[in-house]
Amino acid sequence: MKKRVFSGIQPTGIVHIGNYIGALKNWVAMQDTHDCVYCVVDLHAITVPQDPVAFHENILRTVATLLAVGIDPKKSILFIQSDVPEHSELAWILNCFVYFGELSRMTQFKDKSAVRGQGTSVGLFDYPILMAADILLYGAHEVPVGEDQKQHLELTREVARRVNSKFPNLFVVPDAYIGKMGARVMGLDDPSVKMSKTASSDSNYISLADTPDQIRNKFKRAVTDSDTAVRYDEDKKPAVSNLLTIYSAFSGQPVDAIEKDFTGKGYGDFKKALGELVVEKLQPLQKRIADLLKEKQELDAILAEGAQKARDLAAPRMKEIRRRLGLGR
Ligand code: AQP
């Protein structure tokens, strides 16, 4: 039997190359070796305010993006989180097994609540529990994520073990699957912070929807260092190392081969070549996204089928969880 994989992405407007390299490329690769369940986590996205019309567009755009990068609904289950109400139900149950202090220590919550202040929703606080529910509902063995989600995944594992200690073998304890390279793509304007769609400046990230000129300019402006050598050294040359990671992910070339190609050339040449490479790779993808978005009926049919398959897995699992906990009739 193939191992099951679960992962999700928020439909919050843009998908950036950090999401693509850190998570989506692994999602695509795992389709041939695992039983994959992939989800557009719209309930996670409403932990911060959303305009309903733009939000709905973003959900469809995210689905089109997943299909365009290579998620195949014939191989994987692809659906929208809110189409399967069992996610919210299990989140409530898991809430009753997690302590306030544990959620208060989540670094993502600390960072985001520091920005939102009094406007921080209870949902943002509870976000990791909904994520735990997503994963545990499907009995996933592996969860491909970027490094930023490691702490949330550790909490999921802890919750599963805690519930299992009272209700033996109720949940599979999942492992994080973190790729060897690109698990933490850093901001182009600041290599000390991760590339993030909520960054204060759009120079931080390359969106999958950026135009060729935007892509070229963002790489041109990307920070480097006072040295000139195109060389990988995370400690001493974090900005250049980040650009090399991106180059490697988009070209498929190992980093040492890229270093060799750019020996004796300066950062200007390297960043120009990187810009052209990413433009060349993203253009067909962008066309596929635009084409898919014109096929609203086809998208709807894919999502309806995905939701049905996900519900077929989730409903009996929830029934069993309720029974084991002694809930209901
Ligand atoms: N910079 C990154 N490098 C590598 N992987 C990353 N991921 C996110 N940022 C990077 C991974 O992308 C997947 C989907 O992420 P998400 O939609 O749940 O958003 P997120 O983790 O909150 O990160 P974002 O997209 O940058 O948003 P904000 O601005 O909210 O932090 C996840 O597997 C994530 O690990």
H helices then E strands: how many in the chain? 14, 5
pLDDT in tens, 255-278: 999 999 999 999 999 999 999 999
Assess whether the C-beta atom of 183 lies below 6 angstroms from ligand 1. yes
Radius of gyration of the chain measured on its C-alpha atoms: 21
Q: Looking up tokens 């992405």, which residue turns up?
A: 9
Q: Report the Cα 185 to chain-centroid distance in Å.
A: 12
- B/e letters for 240-264, b = 16+ CB within 10 Å, e = fewer, are bbbbbbbbbbbbebebeebbeebee
pLDDT in tens, 120-154: 999 999 999 999 999 999 999 999 998 999 999 99
Task: Please check whether the two domains, 4-178+296-325 and 202-290, share a CATH topology.
Answer: no
Give the residue whose CA is nearest to atom 26 of ligand 1. 196
Check if 197 is active-site: yes
Tell me how far the alpha carbon of residue 177 lies from the centroid of ligand 1, in angstroms. Answer: 14
Residue 206, CB half-sphere, CA atoms under 13 Å: how many?
35
The catalytic residue among 75, 112, 265, 272 is 112
Assess whether the C-beta atom of 140 lies below 6 angstroms from ligand 1. no
Handedness of CA 137, 139, 140, 145 (dihedral sign): positive
List, in sequence order, every beta strand (DSSP E) within 89-232. Answer: 142-144, 175-177
Atom of ligand 1 nearest to the CA of 10: 17
Domain 202-290: give its CATH code.
1.10.240.10
pLDDT in tens, 24-83: 999 999 999 999 999 999 999 999 999 999 999 999 999 999 999 999 999 999 999 999
**Domain range list for the chain:** 4-178+296-325, 202-290
Assess whether the C-beta atom of 208 lies below 6 angstroms from ligand 1. no
- The span from the CA of 143 to the CA of 178, in Å, is 8
Check if 110 is active-site: no
Check if 294 is active-site: no
pTM: 0.94
Closest to 126 measured CA to CA, from 205, 185, 42, 43: 43
Q: What is the mean pLDDT of the chain?
A: 96
- The best mutation among 16, 19, 25, 130 to test binding of ligand 1, ranked by most ligand atoms within 8 Å of the C-beta, falls on 19
- For residue 161 the two structure tokens come to 């073990």
- The span from the CA of 21 to the CA of 311, in Å, is 29
156 close to 129: Cβ distance less than 8 angstroms:
no
- The span from the CA of 158 to the CA of 161, in Å, is 5
- For residue 230 the two structure tokens come to 């195109």
Atom of ligand 1 nearest to the CA of 147: 35
Tell me how far the alpha carbon of residue 51 lies from the centroid of ligand 1, in angstroms. Answer: 21
pLDDT in tens, 63-73: 999 999 999 99
Closest to 145 measured CA to CA, from 41, 238, 74, 70: 41
Tell me how far the alpha carbon of residue 23 lies from the centroid of ligand 1, in angstroms. Answer: 8
Domain 4-178+296-325: give its CATH code.
3.40.50.620
Tell me how far the alpha carbon of residue 266 lies from the centroid of ligand 1, in angstroms. Answer: 31
Share of the chain above pLDDT 90, in %: 95
